[in-house]
Amino acid sequence: MIYLLILMYTFFTVSGLILLKIGGETFVLTFEYGKMNLCMSWQFILGFIAYVTSFVLWIVLLQKFNLSYMYPILVGLAYIFVLLASIIILKEKVTNFNIAGSVIILVGILFMNIK
């Protein structure tokens, strides 16, 4: 059950952030003549929903498990998968330091799960 929740949290966090990034390019908030105009793409709205879902899963995970255990695992996994999605989907460049940091995070997550 815990692994399914972690997987769902990671999926919704990563997809939410990537969609917010893609949809954020068309996000427009203007004020004209005392009125607020808001224009959002479907990617932005879907990303927002995914990110809110990840936040709800975050709360559920923190209710059931220790913060000192869950925080490094969840944030570490999210960082690594956001980095991978940024490379694959957004075609962003990565440095050797990004790769080295990801390896260190993975090793840390493995150490945390050794019983």
Tokens of 100: 């080295």
- 114 Cβ neighbours under 8 A, 6+ residues apart: none
Of all helices (H) and strands (E), which one includes residue 76? helix 67-88
Tokens of 8: 């769902």
User: Could you tell me the CA-to-CA distances from 45 to 19, 20, 94 in Å, in that order?
Assistant: 8, 8, 28
pTM for this prediction: 0.81
d(CA 39, CA 102): 36
Amino acid at 108: G
* 18 touches 50 (CB < 8 A): no
| pLDDT tens, the chain, 115 aa long | 888 999 999 999 999 999 999 998 888 888 888 888 888 899 999 999 999 999 999 999 989 888 887 888 888 888 889 989 999 999 999 889 988 988 898 888 888 777 6
